[in-house]
Every structure is written in C-alpha cells, then in structure tokens.
Amino acid sequence: MGLVTAWLTLLLSMVGALFWYNDWIYQLPTPVPKNYKPVAIGTQIDLGPKTAAGQHKPVFLHFYNPKCPCSRFNQSHFQSLVREYGQEIDFVVVVLSDQKYTAEKIQDKIGVDIDVIFDPSLAVRCGVYATPQAALLDREQKLYYRGNYNASRYCTDEKTAYAKNAIEALLKSQMLPIWSAKALKSYGCTMPVCKN
C-alpha cells in the first residue's frame, strides 16, 4: 500500500510540475531575435497584393501559427473580435508556419471565414516576431497597434483586453491607451517554428 501511495504521489507531483512549467514558460516574454528591427507606430504598412483588405476599412492582422499553443488559447477570443467588429474592420489571418497549410484548412482551424495569407515578410514589416500577435492598421494602412491580445493566457481578462481596446480606440478616433509593457512585449511562440 505504501508503494502505491508513493507511486501516485510521484506521478501527481510530476503532472503538477509539468503544468507549472508550461504555465511559467508561456508567461515569459518571447526572446527578441538578434536581427529584429523595430517598427514604429504610425509606419505605413504595405499589405502587398495577396489581400484586398484595407481598401475602405481599418485592417486587423492576426499573426497565427497552427502549432503554437498560445495561438490555440486565444482562438475563441479572436472569433469574438471578428463577430463583434467584422462589419467595421477587415480581419486577415497571417499564417507564420514552416508547415504547408491551405487557406481553407486555416479557416477551419480558426473557425472563421476571413482572408488568410501566407506572407512571413508581412510580420517583418509590422515588427512581429511571435505568435499570436495582433497588428491593427488604420484606414491609411498606418500601424496603429501591435501587441498582445490580452494579459491572460486564455484572453479572459476584460481589463487587459489590449487588442479589443485598441480596436475600440481606433474606431472612436482616439489615442491608444497607455498600457504596461505586458501589452506590447511579445509573448508566445517564436516564428516560424513553434518554440519558446
């Protein structure tokens, strides 16, 4: 009986340590790549010919990697943004992955029928080096916001709904709120390979 108790205690301790490690590792900022060049807010962003988005509306770029756990964590939050603001903003998924996917497969994974493009150079033009990240462009395609969706892993904290608050501020023609560094530092998986 003592051996079974010791075995169960060890097994539960290992499972607990694994959960703690996974929670801890995804709360650390993503390391900044050595060749990273910052892109300032207000920079004109060329979307290129791969999307028709942004001709008459602001554009919300969702930088996504299907293999990134953090990208999966914020999936329902992203869907809610598309449902709530899809009439006023063009939403585009920018896939950053070393795997081959089709637009239909990505739409199915995310659960929304919006533009999907496979252009890692767009991440560089927006200053994005991790997934998931959001970049919001105004009607003139100038970078208005680049950063995180939320401080919470599952995007459930309304107080730190950074991407949503940026959308609301842009639609009201307001300045971005002043946030902590948690809003603007990259957290998640480095691109294009999912590793933290």
What pLDDT tens digit does each residue of the chain (196 aa) get?
Answer: 777 787 777 777 776 555 555 555 556 778 888 888 999 999 999 998 877 776 789 999 999 999 888 888 888 899 999 999 999 999 999 998 878 899 999 999 999 999 999 998 999 999 999 899 999 999 999 999 999 988 766 566 777 889 999 999 999 999 988 888 888 888 888 765 544 4
Q: What are the percentages of helix, strand and coil residues in the chain, rounded to 5? A: 35, 15, 45
Residue 99, CA distances (Å) to 114, 118, 131 in order? 20, 11, 15
pTM exceeding the 0.85 threshold for the entire prediction: no
The C-alpha atoms of residue 90 and residue 81 are separated, in whole angstroms, by 11
**pLDDT at position 72:** 84
Token pair in block for residue 102: 């089709």
Cβ atoms < 10 Å from Cβ of 41: 13
Closest C-alpha among 191, 193, 189, 192 to residue 26? 189
**pLDDT at position 152:** 65
The C-alpha atoms of residue 47 and residue 164 are separated, in whole angstroms, by 22
**pLDDT at position 62:** 96
First to last CA, the chain: 41
Q: H helices of the chain, where?
A: 2-25, 69-73, 75-85, 103-110, 120-126, 162-171, 181-184
